[in-house]
Amino acid sequence: MCQRRLSVLCTLDLRAPELGPLGLAGTRLSHPVCEGCHAYGLEIFFETATDGTWAWSEASTTDSADAPERDGPFLPRQQLWLGPARGAMEGVSWMTADHHSHVGGLPGWVGDPAYPACPGCKERMLFVAQVGVEDFPEPGEGVYYAFLCERCRVSSATYQQT
């Protein structure tokens, strides 16, 4: 582990009617990220419980020598709120959307699709949400994508930028 402070990319109240289409069991889903490791494409996994708690997974392949120093600020410690439902193209095309963050549906990839495989069952993980750094008051660049293997309760993230 690189010893950096982890950020919580998103915490979802799975009891909210708007999140019903995700079909996820439990009451809460918190999705941690390491802004240094994920930004550099390193595979980081977390054991994710149905009550919003999580722990580092031994399946992670990162070691501190692999993670370059992160320059720039951490993700802001503020909340993004669920807005009105968007049409299919608004949620998928990062070039036409007013905001880059959304929950469920399909990811709006900046680059090539990068669905992680669950380290336990080897199946492609379910896309849960994406958070565009541009959606914060002091914008940066890039999009974090959150994934979950509901069967194994393992979460991960990827990051892309132009």
**Does residue 19 form part of some domain?**
yes
**Does residue 1 form part of some domain?**
no
**Does residue 32 form part of some domain?**
yes
**Does residue 35 form part of some domain?**
yes
Q: How many domains does the chain have?
A: 1
**Does residue 89 form part of some domain?**
yes
**Does residue 101 form part of some domain?**
yes
Instruction: Convert the pLDDT of each residue in 50-65 to its tens digit.
Output: 999 999 898 887 554 5
- pTM beyond 0.85: no
The three state secondary structure string of the chain is: CCCCCCEEEEEEECCCHHHHHHCCCCCEEEEEECHHHHHCCCCCEEEECCECCEEECCCCCCCHHHCCCCCCCCCCCCCCCCCCCCCHHHHHCCCCCCCCCEECCCCCCCCCCCCCECCCCCCECEEEEEEEHHHCCCCCCCEEEEEEECCCCEEEEEEECC
Instruction: Report the largest interatomic distance among the alpha carbons of the chain, rounded to a whole angstrom.
Output: 43
The token pair that represents 144 in the structure block: 């974090």
Beta bridge partners of 47: 55, 154
**Does residue 2 form part of some domain?**
no
Residue numbers of the domain that contains 64: 7-160
**Does residue 127 form part of some domain?**
yes
Instruction: Convert the pLDDT of each residue in 81-136 to its tens digit.
Output: 555 565 655 545 545 555 578 888 888 888 899 999 999 999 999 999 998 877 76
